[in-house]
Amino acid sequence: MATATPHHSATANGDPKLLIQQPPPPLPNFLASIKLKHVKLGYHYLITHLLTLSLLPIAAVAAVHVVQLNLDDIETLWRRLQDNSVAVTAVGSAVVLAIAAYLMARPRTVYLVDYSCYRPPEDLKAPFATFLERSENHGGFNPSALEFQRKILERSGLGEETYLPAALHCIPPAPSMAAARKEAEDVIFGALESLFKSTKLNPKDIGILVVNCSLFNPTPSLSSMIVNKYKLRGNVKTGMGCSAGVIAVDLAKDMLQVHRNTYAVVVSTENITQNWYYGNRKSMLIPNCLFRCGGSAVLLSNRPADRRRAKYKLLHVVRTHYGSDDTAFNCVRQEQDDTGKTGVTLSKDLMAIAGGALKANITTLGPLVLPISEQLLFFASLVTRKLTGTKTKPYIPDFKLAFDHFCIHAGGRAVIDELERSLQLSGEHVEPSRMTLYRFGNTSSSSIWYELAYTEAKGRVTKGNRVWQIAFGSGFKCNSAVWEAVRAVKPSESNPWGDCIHKFPVEIKA
């Protein structure tokens, strides 16, 4: 473990991530390429509309011939069709059957009807002074560990209004199984109540339930807790998401392809009551400074009738897993320190592993979302490098041509900074992630939903906009979800930014 100044952490689905190296290895420069902006935009427009432009001459010639037809020509054409009625009927039947087969075989569209992010009560706010006071009164931290946490807070990108669960507000903290379950109930039921209220959904209409939470898995399970609370029907399909909110969405999407005309609810949260680290190993103290209380509930549907009230439709989910690599597998690991206290150790290799996972993920995602112009440029660059044997940098596609909004997991300031630089994103592109980290802290797998809620609260989502949600997790994983707005999206009544969005964005100290 390097002993340099800690650089911040990034987490996903309860998997905190630490950057402790000097200097931190940067993510790849994904967009170190063409600067002829206007030429590129012109080329992009030409290639995007190439099919339309090529069909124009054909359409013009056909139109001229149709205009020149007289009544005798039309009558002659009709007689020829009558003389070949068997062939016409056979061709027509084949076309109808082909269309029917296509409609039956194509994947069902998955709509995001609405979602809700939990906002804890005001008495659970944990400004820096309160956080440090609780740490000092615990008595388990030595002066070096306390000073380390203070410095991390100052550089973390978090604000003074994040939340900690009730058990960690006690002096001394009082973590227990009962307190952890109480935190889970407050967060999960709070998010679900808001979701049911905004969508007017009867819980008994839910056919699929997915819950993801990695660090707290009680018996009975969290999904069983929801079934019991809302008395869901006996044949509800339930399951535990394993890595992050994106994986939970993917699982729900797959199940919606099998079960017709049903609703799926995805609940994403993390529980920190029993996962607070009370030791002095600095590599395990970062999660204490960044993790905060939060959660989300998302309503998905494959019912065609829900398109009219849905906010988004799901276009793609891409999951990349680096678990076969030992270094990647061990870069985020829950274990005990030398004194027997449990925490999460974060490796100095974390940033490099995250960069590799991200490259693999966007390499898979690119062909699905990028305009053909960008794909042709990338392919031409690749072929040129192969034929000439040069080691010039390959052309890296511009993902800003594919997406209008970016929801980068708010695990830590460092990862947001690196993705902003590497993908050459604007300040507005990463604003939702920065402000979510500032206002709510790292809420694990639910952070991408707080970010989308921020974008909606700002009134930035219009019909046809594409949203890219990017999440990281231990193991090591990088997951992406792509949504398209089916209408101009207005924030829900339960939007967690509703009464404070006018205060944002705020300036964050360097």
Rounded Cα gap, residues 245 and 251, in angstroms: 10
| Helix (H/G/I), strand (E/B), else coil: 269 | strand
CA distance 247 to 479: 7
Q: How far apart are CA 216 and CA 342, in angstroms?
A: 14
Q: How would DSSP label each residue in 443-469?
A: -GGGHHHHHHHHHHHTT---TT-EEEE
CA of 302: how far to CAs of 100, 184, 464, in Å? Answer: 19, 28, 19
Query: Closest by alpha carbon to 203, among 188, 191, 193, 190?
Result: 193
User: Which listed residue (13, 271, 280, 405) is catalytic?
Assistant: 405
Told to judge if 213 belongs to the known catalytic residues of this protein, a careful annotator would answer no
CA distances (Å), origin 456, targets 312, 369, 430, 498: 12, 22, 14, 10
Q: Write down the residue that tokens 């002074």 correspond to.
A: 129
**Residue 110 CB contacts under 8 Å (≥ 6 apart), including other chains:** 252, 253, 256, 300, 301, 302, 313, 314
- Identify any residues that bridge with 467 across adjacent strands, giving them in sequence order: 405, 483
Residues 409, 478, 479, 495: which is the catalytic one?
409
Confirm whether 117 is a catalytic residue.
no
Is 170 annotated as catalytic? no
Please pick, among 44, 169, 242, 330, the residue that the annotation labels catalytic: 242
- What's 25's DSSP letter? P
Tokens of 493: 């009544």
Q: Active-site residue 405, yes or no?
A: yes
User: Is 409 known to be catalytic?
Assistant: yes
**At 151, is the secondary structure helix, strand, or coil?**
helix
- Distance, in Å, from the CA atom of 62 to the CA atom of 189, rounded to the nearest integer, reads 62
How far apart are alpha carbons 214 and 371 in whole angstroms?
37
User: Which residues participate in catalysis according to the annotation?
Assistant: 242, 321, 405, 409, 442
